[in-house]
């Protein structure tokens, strides 16, 4: 049997519960379900707040910002060359 992560298992259970309709998982109103806080790929932080994925370190934020800035500049140059 193929191994799956706990988050993927939660996703599969929510989809099973909602007749494979992602919109129904998004709109789920069963707040007393144990899986409710973990719908849509959310995890809980140490304060019990929902968060998506891992929090970025300051270094990772700077790298991502630099990468996006570089892509934006490349696009700008590419678009200007088409004129
Ligand atoms: S959170 Fe909602 S969709 Fe997911 S298993 Fe619970 S009741 Fe079903």
Domain boundaries defined on the chain: 1-52, 56-83
Question: Residue 18, Cβ neighbours under 10 Å: how many?
Answer: 16
Which residue puts its alpha carbon closest to atom 1 of ligand 1? 36
At 2-57, the pLDDT tens digits run: 888 888 999 999 999 999 999 999 999 999 999 999 998 888 877 888 888 776 78
d(CA 24, CA 14): 9
Residue nearest ligand 1's atom 3 by CA: 14
- With beta carbons less than 8 A apart as the criterion, state whether 11 and 41 touch: yes
CB 35 within 8 A of CB 13: yes
Q: Which atom of ligand 1 is nearest to the CA of 30?
A: 7
Our CA angle for 69, 50, 39, nearest 5°, is 100
Residue with the nearest Cα to atom 5 of ligand 1?
Answer: 14
Query: What's this model's pTM, rounded to 2 decimal places?
Result: 0.62
Predicted local distance difference test score (pLDDT) of residue 83: 59
């Amino acid at each position: 049997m193929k191994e799956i992560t706990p988050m993927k298992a939660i996703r599969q259970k929510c989809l099973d519960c909602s007749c494979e309709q992602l919109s129904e998982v998004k709109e789920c109103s069963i707040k007393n379900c144990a899986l409710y806080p973990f719908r849509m790929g959310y995890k809980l932080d140490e304060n019990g707040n929902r968060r998506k994925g891992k929090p970025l370190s300051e270094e990772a934020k700077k790298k991502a910002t630099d990468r996006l800035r570089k892509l934006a500049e490349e696009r700008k140059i590419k678009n200007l060359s088409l004129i």
